Structure formats: structure tokens, C-alpha cells
Structure 1
Amino acid sequence: MASGLVRGALAGAAGTTALNATTYLDMAVRGRAPSDAPQDLIEKAARDAGLRVPGEGETREHRLQGLGPLVGMAVGVGVGALAGAAQAALARRGRRLPVVVGAALIAAGAMALADVPLKLFGISDPRTWSAGDWAGDIVPHLVYGAVTWASLDGTGPGSSVTTRARWR
């Protein structure tokens, strides 16, 4: 299980990098601004928990701008770790998920962990999003799921990578 968690965390880091690259590419192509939602969520969650992000003015704002993406990275690595543990558990039972199913489940899990808190904390309501808003959210998460699953699938038990490594 521990190796599944570690492999998954590394796969989640790769997926998070791909998600971020996809998001930045979207921003560059469409000329759109970055979302304030991650930092707004950190601010609201901290306030609701009775905590205060330290600093005043720009210093505090910059801390929030740093914390939002850091939490997103932690979610990406965490979802990957859980996926790695699940994949390892399935492998021990001689089972494997199809690539499309594994990637879609990982994407859906990450997307839910990103979007549900936005609704719960009153930051954003996905029911009001435009088609462009949805595309800007779904596409990077699908890329995340695909890269995370491909990383797991390529390094897991029985993969060509681990089989070759044993013969060296």
C-alpha cells in the first residue's frame, strides 16, 4: 500500500503540473485572467474556522495568492496518492481499471474536491457557469486525470516500465 501511495503522489504531482500547464495555456490563448476562487476559498475557510491569514494589505493578499495554488497542488498530489493506493489494492486482487475509467474517476475526484468547496463556501455556484467556464474547468481536470492515470499505469505492477526494471 505504501508504494501505491508514493507512486500515486508522484503521479498526482505529474498530473497537477499538466493541469497547471493546461490552465496557463488556456489563459494565454483566451487572454483571460487567473481565477481568484482559490484565494477567496482560503480566506473564507480560514475565517469560518476562526483563523486569520496574517498580514495587512498587499502582504496579506500575496499570502492568499500563494496559499490558493499550494492547496490546489496538495489536492492534486493527495488525489493521486489515493488513486495509487486504489490501483495497488486492485492489482493485489488481479484487477485493473480500463484507462478511460481510471482517468475519468481521477479527474472527477479532483474536480469535485476543487468545485464542491467553492459552492459550500459561497465562492461560486457551478450551476451559473457558462459553457466556457465549464470547459475551462473540465478540460484541465481531464488532462490531470489522464496524466495521473498514465503515470500510475506506466509504473504499476505488471507495467512495461517495472517489468523492464526487474530485468536490469
Structure 2
Amino acid sequence: MRNATLARHVVAGAAAGAAGTTVLNTVTYLDMALRGRPASGLPEQAAGVLADRVHADLGEGGTADNRRQGLGPMLGIAAGVGVGAAYGLYRYATARRRTRPLDVGAVAVLASVAGNAPLTALRLTDPRTWGATGWLSDAVPHLAYALATIATFDLTRTRPRRR
């Protein structure tokens, strides 16, 4: 029974992370539309670097570009679903010992680290150089991710009332 409950928490967390990722992407695209800023090329660059490191042939020219453009966002989706699964595990382990604001902050930070640490490790970005606008452009979508992930998780774990 405990393993089934653990699995349900992790799966609910992964699904909540997918919902949170959709919200993060929506907030990011809204920011792009409002400010007229271009999409980041970092996810595609990361996909290319990682493909090179594992000796994966993405093809040549336009085909390779298209594959990088497809693989780059998938890295972000994997991070979002993974952070959601980790949140499900956390909720399983802590039961009722949680504080909502602390959870939101922790999930937002974890999501930001999960998305940015690989890019930093690959030397594709340096958060020390971002400035206030760069940090705000990163923090707001990750905060929206955290709120959506936690709310979705709570909805999946709440039992309907019987009348």
C-alpha cells in the first residue's frame, strides 16, 4: 500500500509539473509578446551541445537545426515534469508538515535551478551577468510554474466530498 501511495504521489507530481510547465511557457510567451523580445536560443544550443557530447548525429544543415529546435524545448519539459515528480515525492515524505508560501518559494527556486543549472554548466549562460530584467524574466515564469504545479497537485490529491 505504501508503494502504491508513493507512486500515486510521484505520478500526480509529474502531471502537476506538466501543468506547471504549460503555465511557465504561457507566461514566457506572453512576456515575449508584450515586450517584443525574441525567444531564447539557449535550449536549442543546449540540445546541440548535449547531442555532440553523446555523439548523437542530428543530421546536417536545416535538418540539424530543426532537430535542435525540437529537442531544446523538450529539455525544459523534462525539467518541469521532473521537478513536479520531486514535489510529489516531497509531499509524500512530509505529509502535513508543510507551509504553502515556503513550498511555492522552494518549488520556484528548484524549477529555476533545474532549468538554468545545465545551461550554466554547459557555459551557455552566466546568471551573474543577467541584470534585474533578466532575473525578473526568469523569476516570474518560475513563480507561475510553482503556483500552478502546487495547485494542480492539490487538486489531484483532494478527495471529492460525498453528499
TM-score by length of 1: 0.88
Point out where structure 1 has 5 or more consecutive residues left out of the alignment: none
User: How many matched pairs?
Assistant: 158
Matches within 5 A, 1:9-28: 9-28=14-33
Name 1:122's counterpart in structure 2. 123
Paired residues of 1:41 and 1:118 also in contact (CA < 8 A): yes
Pairing 1:111–2:112 present: yes
Paired residues of 2:51 and 2:58 also in contact (CA < 8 A): no
Matches within 5 A, 1:76-95: 76-91=80-95, 95=96
Pairing 1:75–2:95 present: no
- Post-superposition Cα deviations, 1:11-64, rounded to whole Å, max 9, x if no partner, equal 101100000000000000000000000111111122233x13421111110110
Shift of 1:103: 1.3
Q: What's the secondary structure of 1:79's corresponding residue? A: helix
1:150 and 1:101 mapped to 2: Cα distance? 14
Pairing 1:162–2:163 present: no
Q: What's the secondary structure of 1:122's corresponding residue? A: coil
Pairing 1:66–2:74 present: no
Q: Which runs of 4+ in 1 moved over 4 A?
A: none
Point out where structure 2 has 5 or more consecutive residues left out of the alignment: 1-5
Shift of 1:163: 4.3
Name 1:145's counterpart in structure 2. 146
- Post-superposition Cα deviations, 1:72-105, rounded to whole Å, max 9, x if no partner, equal 11110111011011102211xxx23111111111
Aligned identity (percent) is 45
TM-score by length of 2: 0.91
